[in-house]
């Protein structure tokens, strides 16, 4: 062991860990370690793919953070030459030159001493991420040799030799050769034979891990401009690397490190190979002996040893490379790029935007079906891809197509996307990340079979998918959205408010499709602070009468008051639009039944987007409030902002306790900011009510404790249709529909039935037959 490697590297190492912890908080990169099997701390050899230079410092930091252990890593030998101080620094952070004469024996000794070893088996950066060869094998392009090659086997050799040495230790112990064990323990700087035996009894584990960056950017930045200036244009490779890596570091970028299950090296050997290997054990007196046998065998047994170890090495190399590449964290740009590549390979360089969006949406849904899929968290949040089916522009997709490395390959007009053949053409290896990000993303996801299959299936089915199948996908998105929102608002900040909540009823949206269904479907919209559970019982009743019923969840509800605090009334309105889209796949006409704020939104929907809405029932519409928390709604936003300047008042200003008739359904806390949204929603309704043209039924309790019953008269007055009815129900409760007070549900059923009669009269007479009924105004 050389003097350099004997240096005490702990002080330098710990200083670097502290420095990186500080810098990490200042960078735009978001590092996330995914370790479902909780295997990360227990490994011996850690293997990572290699795309950017700076990522070589991340694993050491994460391992030290998780285990407190120190790591060795292999670095390019030229870095250690030319500057003794820099070489000592590299040794100080655990680096070892790749051309060190005793590299593998030294690293094996480090593993046996309890240290971790980090290796990048690709042997260098793979900038094009092209890791699947023409025959489906894993291989990469070597810029030096200018051809494709298999991955390095150094990590596999190291792991196998360590494992064989452990077997040798245990065999010597069985023979009671304690003097030899003592010499080995001292050579490895272990305290005792017992410690050596303990190390030898532990399986040697390889931890394969994949590093995925999202999104990649190639835009100009101050560091790249500086590099270009100082290199005077003579080092384009350096400029390219700084350009890419500075964007990763300085802009908002996710770095997902996904850990695969550990590979136990002892399982690589076949039983007959173990028998053959045991023949050479008696000649092994040190780690170096194992490595020497593997390089220069003399006897027949030694040649057999080399043959067996070579086969075992290749098998192990293939195992861990497959594990590394299967760990790609799949994101939207992977799927976009794969679709584009498949289209161009089939000479389809032009596609309708709506069809492309639908294909991409279906690819996302296919990938979500695979429970073992590693999807980027953005693909678990439907808000990030909802726009694909809505017909609107998808912001994420537009941003990708407009980025450097994409815009020169993609063009568009109002109706079509156009893809250039350059998407699949060869690029300069060192500039591919600048010139063709589509190719980089498509290559990176190629080893992920479920993603490749999902893209191909989506491309085949997009033209033929039926509306009901699409509706089922969209409804699944509503479930995913609820789950995602739940997880978002469970942090320390939210706990104190969340524990006060009393709601136990399921907040899931529901879709009930009878076997024999009517042509009219019912969209049920719950009230403020509640969830679809508020409408579920009535939805079941309606479905038993043949109506397809959908109970929509307004965003911000059924999760946490903190979630509601972040929502605007437009978010609630968008929830209704999605519900209508789903329901329209099953029926031709829709009646919207809304309670409380759900009633307000139902009337607003009929006014602003009346297509296929044939009637609205609005129950307990909050035109005016009685409760003090909501009475001065128009002042709420300013009040919250004012109190945020005073820390002692800020927490009390965010939420107010709210009395509930149904604590198993409703939030206990109402965000002050939400009151302001109600005020804005009422203003919008006031302006749009005259545009309501479909039949309307208004139901209101006479002694409603939450809303001022008199306000319903103003709603009735402003509703534009002549076919409207207001029914006052004797009640001291707000939830007259939930509790079915005054035959409230029967009145809704009657209204829906009358709509059918009105339709028949219209067909017979050629004019609309309207019923104008009202009650006396509340005095």
CA atoms of 285 and 201, how far apart (whole Å): 18
For residue 15, give the 3-state DSSP assignment.
helix
C-alpha torsion 381→385→386→389, nearest 10:
-150
Q: Rounded mean pLDDT of 624-644?
A: 57
* pLDDT band per the 50, 70, 90 thresholds, residue 419: very high
The answer to whether 44 and 162 are in contact (CB under 8 A) is yes
DSSP 360: H
Which tokens sit at 763?
A: 């067909």
Instruction: Identify the pLDDT of residue 247.
Output: 64
Alpha helices in 251-352 (DSSP H): 271-277, 287-295, 300-326, 332-345
In sequence order, the 6+-apart residues with CB closer than 8 A to the CB of 135 are none
CA atoms of 556 and 527, how far apart (whole Å): 12
Instruction: Identify the pLDDT of residue 39.
Output: 87
pTM above 0.85, yes or no: yes
Residue 764 has pLDDT above 70, yes or no: no
Residue 286 to residues 108, 153, 283, 290, 305, Cα–Cα distance (Å): 11, 21, 9, 7, 16
CA atoms of 589 and 614, how far apart (whole Å): 6
- Percent of the chain scored above 90 by pLDDT? 53
Residue 288 to residues 1, 229, 296, Cα–Cα distance (Å): 12, 49, 12
For residue 711, give the 3-state DSSP assignment.
helix
* pLDDT band per the 50, 70, 90 thresholds, residue 293: low
CA atoms of 138 and 149, how far apart (whole Å): 9
Which tokens sit at 765?
A: 């007479």
Q: Which residues pair with 138 in a beta bridge?
A: 132
Element (H, E) at 253: strand 253-259
Cis peptide before 215 (omega within 30 of 0): yes
Q: How many CB atoms lie within 10 A of CB 537?
A: 13
Give tens-digit pLDDT for 217-269: 766 545 444 544 444 454 555 556 666 666 666 677 888 999 999 988 888 77
Give tens-digit pLDDT for 425-459: 887 767 788 889 999 999 999 999 999 999 999 99
In sequence order, the 6+-apart residues with CB closer than 8 A to the CB of 452 are 338, 445, 446
CA atoms of 364 and 378, how far apart (whole Å): 11
Which tokens sit at 623?
A: 């035109």
Instruction: Identify the pLDDT of residue 111.
Output: 92
Which tokens sit at 295?
A: 């390089």
Instruction: Identify the pLDDT of residue 630.
Output: 55
Give tens-digit pLDDT for 483-534: 999 999 999 999 999 999 999 999 999 999 999 999 999 999 999 999 999 9
Instruction: Identify the pLDDT of residue 267.
Output: 80
Residue 729 has pLDDT above 90, yes or no: yes
Give tens-digit pLDDT for 74-104: 887 887 887 788 888 888 788 888 888 888 8
Which tokens sit at 691?
A: 């545009």
Instruction: Identify the pLDDT of residue 144.
Output: 77
CA dihedral over 465, 469, 475, 481, signed as positive or negative: negative
By DSSP bridging, strand 696-701 and strand 140-142 are unpaired
Which tokens sit at 265?
A: 């090296």
Domains, the chain, in order of start with CATH, read 10-325 (no CATH), 332-465 (no CATH), 498-750 (3.40.50.1820)
Least confident among 35-44, 342-351, 697-706: 35-44
Residue 398 has pLDDT above 60, yes or no: yes
Detail the DSSP E strand segments found in 373-459.
Answer: 410-412, 416-419
């Amino acid at each position: 062991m050389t003097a350099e490697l004997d240096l005490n590297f702990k002080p330098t190492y710990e200083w670097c860990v502290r420095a990186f912890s500080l810098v990490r908080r200042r960078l735009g990169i978001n590092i996330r370690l995914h370790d479902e099997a909780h295997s990360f701390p227990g490994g011996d050899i850690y293997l990572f793919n290699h795309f950017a230079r700076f990522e070589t410092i991340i694993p050491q930091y994460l391992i030290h953070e998780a285990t407190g252990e120190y790591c060795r890593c292999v670095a390019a030998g030229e870095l250690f030459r030319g500057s003794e101080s820099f070489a000592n620094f590299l040794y100080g952070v655990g680096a070892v030159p790749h051309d060190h004469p005793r590299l593998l024996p030294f690293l094996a000794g480090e593993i046996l001493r309890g240290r971790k070893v980090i290796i990048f088996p690709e042997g260098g950066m793979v900038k094009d991420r092209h890791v699947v060869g023409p025959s489906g094998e894993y291989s990469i392009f070597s810029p030096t040799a200018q051809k494709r090659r298999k991955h390095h086997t150094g990590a596999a050799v190291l792991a196998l030799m360590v494992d064989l040495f452990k077997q040798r230790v245990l065999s010597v112990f069985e023979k009671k050769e304690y003097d030899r064990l003592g010499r080995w323990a001292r050579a490895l700087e272990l305290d005792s034979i017992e410690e050596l035996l303990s190390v030898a009894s532990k399986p040697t584990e390889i931890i394969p891990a994949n590093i995925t960056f999202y999104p990649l950017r190639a835009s100009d930045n101050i560091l790249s401009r500086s590099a270009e200036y100082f290199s005077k244009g003579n080092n384009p490779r350096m400029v390219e690397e700084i350009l890419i890596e500075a964007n990763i570091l300085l802009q908002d970028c996710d770095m997902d490190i996904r850990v695969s299950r550990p590979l136990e090296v002892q399982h690589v050997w076949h039983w007959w190979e173990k028998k053959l290997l045991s023949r050479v054990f008696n000649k092994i007196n040190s780690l170096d002996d194992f490595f020497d046998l593997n390089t220069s065998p003399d006897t027949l047994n030694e040649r057999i040893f080399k043959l067996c170890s070579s086969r075992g090495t290749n098998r192990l190399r293939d195992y861990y490379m497959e594990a590394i590449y299967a760990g790609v964290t799949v994101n939207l740009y992977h799927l976009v790029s794969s679709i584009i590549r498949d289209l161009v390979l089939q000479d389809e360089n032009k596609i309708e935007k709506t069809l492309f969006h639908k294909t991409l949406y279906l690819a996302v849904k296919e990938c979500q079906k695979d429970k073992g899929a590693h999807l980027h968290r953005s693909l678990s949040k439907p808000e990030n891809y909802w726009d694909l089916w809505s017909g609107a522009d998808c912001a994420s997709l537009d941003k990708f197509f407009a980025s450097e490395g994409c815009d020169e390959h993609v063009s568009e007009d109002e109706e079509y996307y156009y893809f250039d053949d350059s998407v699949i053409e060869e690029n300069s290896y060192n500039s591919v990340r600048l010139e063709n990000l589509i190719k980089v993303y498509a290559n990176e996801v190629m080893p992920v079979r479920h993603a490749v299959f999902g893209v191909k299936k989506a491309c085949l089915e997009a033209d033929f998918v039926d509306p009901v199948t699409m509706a089922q996908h969209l409804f699944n998105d509503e479930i995913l959205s609820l789950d995602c929102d739940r997880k978002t608002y469970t942090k320390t900040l939210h706990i104190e408010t969340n524990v006060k909540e009393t709601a136990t009823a399921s907040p899931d949206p529901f879709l009930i499709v009878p076997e024999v269904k009517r042509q009219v479907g019912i969209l049920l919209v719950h009230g403020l602070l509640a969830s679809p559970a508020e409408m579920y019982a009535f939805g079941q009743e309606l479905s038993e009468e043949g109506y397809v019923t959908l109970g929509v969840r307004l965003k911000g509800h059924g999760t946490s008051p903190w979630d509601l605090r972040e929502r605007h009334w437009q978010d609630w309105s968008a929830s209704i639009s999605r519900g209508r889209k789903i329901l329209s796949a099953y029926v031709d006409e829709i009646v919207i039944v809304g309670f409380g704020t759900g009633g307000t939104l139902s009337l607003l929907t009929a006014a602003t987007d009346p297509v296929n809405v044939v009637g609205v029932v609005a129950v307990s519409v909050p035109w005016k409030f009685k409760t003090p928390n909501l009475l001065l709604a128009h002042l709420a936003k300013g009040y919250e902002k004012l109190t945020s300047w005073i820390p002692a008042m800020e927490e009390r200003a965010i939420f107010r306790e709210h009395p509930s008739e149904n604590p198993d359904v409703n939030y206990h806390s109402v965000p002050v900011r939400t009151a302001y949204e109600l005020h804005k929603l009422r203003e919008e309704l006031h302006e749009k009510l005259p545009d309501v043209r479909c039949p309307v039924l208004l139901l209101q309790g006479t002694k409603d404790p939450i809303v001022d019953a008199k306000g319903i008269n103003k709603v009735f007055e402003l509703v534009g249709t002549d076919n409207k009815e207001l029914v006052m129900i004797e009640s001291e409760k707000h939830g007259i529909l939930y509790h079915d007070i005054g035959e409230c549900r029967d009145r809704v059923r009657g209204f829906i039935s009358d709509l059918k009669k009105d339709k028949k009269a219209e067909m017979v007479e050629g004019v609309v037959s309207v019923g104008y009924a009202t009650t006396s105004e509340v005095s």
